[in-house]
Structure 1
Amino acid sequence: MTAPAADLEIRLHRPGQRPKRVGFFGMSLKASVYGIVGLLLGVVVWMWKQNGWLGLTIIVGTVLVLLPMVIAPGGRSFYERTEHTMRWWSRKLNGSTVYRPGPHGRVPDGMYKLPGILNQTTMHMGRDYLGNDFGIIHRRRGDQYTIVLDCYPGGDEAVTQAQRDLMTADWGAYLAGIGLPGDVVLAAVTVEEIPATGHRLALEVEQDISNSPSELASAMMRQSAIQFPAGKQQTMARMAITFKAKTKEHRTEPEEMATDLARRLPALYEDLAGAGVEAVPMTAEEITAFVHRSYDPSSEPLLEELDIAGESHGIAWENAGAATRTEWNHFRHAGAVSVVWEMQAPPDSVFPDTILKPLLRPHDELTRKRLTVFYRPFSAGDAARSVNREYKDALNALNQKKGVKSAQDELRVEASEQARNEQVRGAGLVRYSALMTVTVDSMEALPTAASIHDALTARASLNVRRCYGFQDAAFAAALGIGINLADHSTVSSLGKN
């Protein structure tokens, strides 16, 4: 029996376009404005002040100032790179790249607080109207609250192409829906692999053989429970949704925000069923557990044993951190070494819905890895203004060029026009990015792990680069607990392209 031809057709997706404002000669709008001001000033001095040398000096100076802004390999101008490097060395000199918490550390209260941008967060609790407890991470800077959902994707092994297309469409509708209220600033989806301890499997086996009359069969089952998880990884998925407080009560009283989220939360995790994902809210204790084991991987077996036994781990959010040290291209934490990469650009061409499979599959050589995809949804009004502005800019860039138009400019017009049409028909508009983390036990294992990761990202058609100079912040953001790196940028906007 053969499947219908329509069911065998693989639907391809566009990566979207990076928003940009195009000025004269293909330069950015900001560089064009700077250039026009400088050139006009030089011409005015030359003609009206009768000072040709001064006017020429201003014009040449304007060109020299613009060149580092216009030349932007990898999407970052030389000004951005220079300022970023200077800020890194400033951190290195003042000692802020080393974090030593605890009674003998440099933290004033002697606690093991989370490092860096997580240091000023607090944990609160709530209960939705279905009776499920949930944790709330409050970030005082920006008045943002984050809830985390424990997700159980169904997989696609026994799913037809038509069903996968429907799930993908439902996922797009879900992202569009969470952007409608206007207070969701970030949604982060995290899929990670950690070494399998086998404790949970052993418990299930003991429960199954508790009434077994055969000692030989029971012994074989116990032995299998020990051998099967050896060298394997367990995959976990979660989704974090970050809300911005809109009222004074929500900004000052986390309990008020918890009451509001208790009303909205069930719809947020029940609506994921259409995308093939079962989800439940994570409690404050569960969130604290995975954050702590991420910074201190040696705690994984103990935390899992306590979870299986139904006992509390007793770790407060204020004590979930560990000693860390940030280097230019890697991050040390509690005896482990991690490297974080950021997505520099999406795939260059259309792609199927399975493009991320190489990164999501467990790998024997990468026992701890994490992929986090960030979505920043637009509200309905902002989405309409954004797609219209992008379409106008794309047309402007295309019409500026004489003769044969470049294929890149034509594709940008086509993509922006399609985005306008889809937005009018109810589709949502989101900005997206991704962070990938690999954690190893020693520096000696890092080159091999990095090489394997580069091969996996190449198979996924992703253009990535290391998060040079901000590995600690990227590691915290990649945990998927509501940290948006765009809110913590320290690079001045004056030198951006």
Structure 2
Amino acid sequence: MSTEVIKTRTYGNWRRPRKAGLGSFGLVGTVGVFGGLVVVLLASLFSLSAAVVMAVAGTLVLAPLAVRTPDGRNVYNVLALRIGWSRRRAKRQNLYVSGPLSARPGGRFRPPGMLSRVTMMEGRDPYDRRFGVLHHRYRNLFTVVLGCEPDGGSLVDPEQVDVWVALWGDWLSRLAHEPDLRGAAVIVETAPDPGTRLASEVLPRISAEAPPVARAVMEEIVDQYPNASSEMNTYITLTYGMPGAAKRGKEEILTDLALRLQGLNSGLVGAGGGTAAPLSAERIAEVVRVAYDPAVAADVLDLRARYGATGLEWLDSGPAAARETVTTYQHDSGVSRSWLLTLAPRGTVRSSVLRSLLDPVPGIRRKRVALLYRPIDPATSARIVEADRRSAQFMANSTRGLVRARAVSEVAAAEQTAAEEAAGAGLVEFSMVVTVTVDSAADIPDANVTMRNLLGATRLSMRAADRMQAAAFSCALPVGILPWEQTMIPHELQEAL
């Protein structure tokens, strides 16, 4: 007799690059420490009291840079978040009212917040399909939204799953070579199925001469099936920064974006993404409209089933009223709460690590899981992995005991990353935003418990996006909002902090 050992492929080795600096200080903090020592030494040449005053002042300024939260934020980051929230609340910027009876110019239901200055364009791809393009005017970015029908993982051989994962990694690595691509996102949205689509498909096909029993069975199926089913939608957003867009015409930009879609679509099909097609401007507006007002989801599906279109425009896709609190974001018929990724699972995981988080959850009106990707160009990737490898080797050589054992494992991981990057693999930074929408604020405690249970199964570490719930809600929508493009401080300076 022989025993066959079945090995399941695992994945991992994602790393947060080490920041240059002493201890928990970043590069800016380290430069400040050495600069402060020089200033203190110079002050001591004049008087001892002046040196003491300079030392105390430097300590008060630099100490907050060394104190960090578990997710890596220093004291200044936390204070900036709280001060920003206090200012917005004092100016009543956490409240939003739109429509004909509001003070908003035009009387339209424009999306609020970071979407208020976004405009919509529409073009046609090489297959003569309409596709919408969101123009983020404040950053001069252009976003294309793709709708996917991914293949399910049920009854699929493990070998096929491994192929899908490998091709998905290849598709992500190709993003680093995509000209002018600033970021991408994958949004998986789940919600209870209202049953509108099933009714529109079945009821018109029932023959008038059908037996009463057969008719009763079909009507009962249409009535009862939605109670146990769910709706799942998958979107992929690609955000480009077009150089010289101000001097280029609208048609030229749309043609440029249309020619880029074909290659990316073919890569998604091989990675298990199924049929991928760009969404029209009307479909994007419908997705945003339903996100802000979940109660109209059935009406939107019913109109599309009856007439093939809803006629909804981007300027009318926002909520009639919205209110942001410290812990929630209230909008029309829903109340949402969002969470941000702080730490990826340690060690290795299987390909199904996110399945429980992506599956529909009873009692939740809508749930969106947004994976955000920031591709890094090959030149920068080589510099990052080489610096990370040197930092890991330095830490391994300067530590002892159990800490050294962990540092040695960090060296092995850094060496593997450097070898894979030298062999042609791409480097991509990623994060995640999860938004849960319920019917009322009274359901938020139950949503918190549900999220804790889901995160325990996925081994993810996430924190609630308190005091920035409205911004996190927008980032989880398929509209191309990239968090690293919304900050006033440059991304490189934030990394140095």
How far the C-alpha of 1:406 sits from its partner, in A, is 3.4
Q: Give the structure 2 partner of residue 76 of structure 1.
A: 73
CA distance in 2, matches of 1:495, 1:14: 23
Contact 2:25 2:65 in 1 (8 A): no
- Distance apart, 1:109 and its partner CA: 2.2
Matching residue of 1:259: 255
Q: 1:428 — aligned with what? A: 426
Deviations along 1:84-127, one digit per CA (max 9) or x if unpaired, are 10111000001111111112223122211110000111111111
CA distance, structure 1, for counterparts of residue 445 and residue 107 of structure 2: 35
Is 1:460–2:458 an aligned residue pair?
yes
Compute the displacement of 1:25 (Å): 4.2
SS at match of 1:325: strand
TM-score scaled by length of structure 1:
0.94
Shift of the 3–428 alpha-carbon distance from structure 1 to 2, 3 Å rule, reads farther
Kept in 1, the 8 Å contact 2:203–2:219? The answer is yes
Residue 56 of structure 1: how far off its partner (Å): 2.5
> What is the CA-CA distance between 1:144 and the residue it aligns to?
1.0
Shift of 1:186: 1.1
Partner residue, 1:167: 164
Deviation at 1:30, TM superposition (A): 2.1
- Single out whichever of 53-62 and 405-414 deviates more from structure 2: 405-414
- How do 1:259-298 residues align onto structure 2 when only pairs under 5 Å count? 259-278=255-274, 279-298=276-295
Aligned mates of 1:311, 1:205 — CA distance in 2: 17
Match of 2:449 in 1: 451
Residues 219 and 390 of structure 1, relative CA distance in 2, 3 Å threshold: same
Match of 2:12 in 1: 14
Are the equivalent residues in 2 in contact too, given 1:269–1:281 (CA < 8 A)? no
Shift of 1:399: 3.5
Counterpart for residue 363 of structure 1: 361
The separation in 1 between residues aligned to 2:405 and 2:122, in whole angstroms, is: 53
Give the CA deviation at 1:414. Answer: 2.3
Which region of structure 1 is more displaced relative to structure 2, 58-67 or 122-131? 58-67
Paired residue for 1:222, among 215, 219, 225? 219
1:263-412 alignment to 2 at 5 Å?
Answer: 263-278=259-274, 279-322=276-319, 323-401=321-399, 405-412=403-410
Percent identity over the alignment?
A: 30
Structure 1 unaligned regions, length at least 5:
none
Contact 1:182 1:379 in 2 (8 A): no
How many residue pairs get matched?
491
Q: Distance in 2 between matches of 1:18 and 1:79?
A: 21
What are the Cα deviations for residues 415-447 of structure 1, in whole angstroms up to 9, with x where unaligned? 222111111212111000000011011111111
Structure 2's unaligned 5+ residue stretches are: none
**1:326 alignment partner AA:** E
Distance 2:444 2:267 in 1: 40
Structure 2 residue 134 is matched with structure 1 residue 143 = no
For residues 157 and 417 of structure 2, what CA distance do their matches in structure 1 show?
A: 27
**Aligned equivalent of 1:477:** 475
Q: 1:213 to 1:402 in 2, by over 3 A?
A: closer
Cα gap change, 1:439 to 1:334, in 2 (>3 Å)? same
Say which SS state the counterpart of residue 129 (structure 1) adopts: coil
TM-score scaled to structure 2, two decimals? Answer: 0.94
- Residue aligned with 1:406, SS: helix
CA separation of 1:333 and 1:3: change in aligned 2, threshold 3 A: farther
**1:4, distance to aligned residue in structure 2 (A):** 6.7
Q: Which segment is superposed worse, 308-317 or 138-147?
A: 308-317
Q: For 1:466 and 1:212, locate their aligned partners in 2 and report how far apart those are by CA, in whole Å.
A: 57
Greater Cα offset, 55-64 or 370-379: 55-64
**2:39 is aligned with 1:41:** yes
1:289 Cα deviation from its structure 2 partner = 0.4
Indicate the larger mover: 435-444 or 181-190. 181-190
Change (3 A) 1:17 1:216: same
2:99 corresponds, among 102, 114, 135, to 102
- Return closer, same or farther for 1:27/1:199 CA change in 2, 3 Å cut-off: same
- The question of whether the paired residues in 1 share the 8 Å contact of 2:191 and 2:360 is answered with no
CA gap of 1:410–1:30, structure 2 versus 1, over 3 A, is farther
**What's the counterpart of residue 485 of structure 2?**
487
CA distance in 2 between counterparts of 1:397 and 1:142 reads: 39
> Retained in 1: the 8 A contact 2:245–2:253?
no
SS of residue in 2 equivalent to 1:111: coil
Contact 1:14 1:351 in 2 (8 A): yes
CA deviations 1:335-390 (Å, max 9, x no partner) are 31000100111112211111101101111122311101011111222222222222
Q: Give the conservation status (yes or no) of the 8 Å contact 1:196–1:232.
A: yes
Distance verdict in 2 for CA 1:212–1:72, change over 3 Å: farther
Do the aligned partners of 1:181 and 1:379 also contact (CA within 8 Å) in 2? Answer: no
Deviation at 1:219, TM superposition (A): 1.8
Alignment counterpart, residue 118 of structure 2, candidates 97, 121, 145: 121
* Cα separation, partners in 2 of 1:496 and 1:425, compared to 1, 3 Å: closer
Q: Do 2:132 and 2:280's aligned partners in 1 also have CA atoms closer than 8 Å?
A: yes
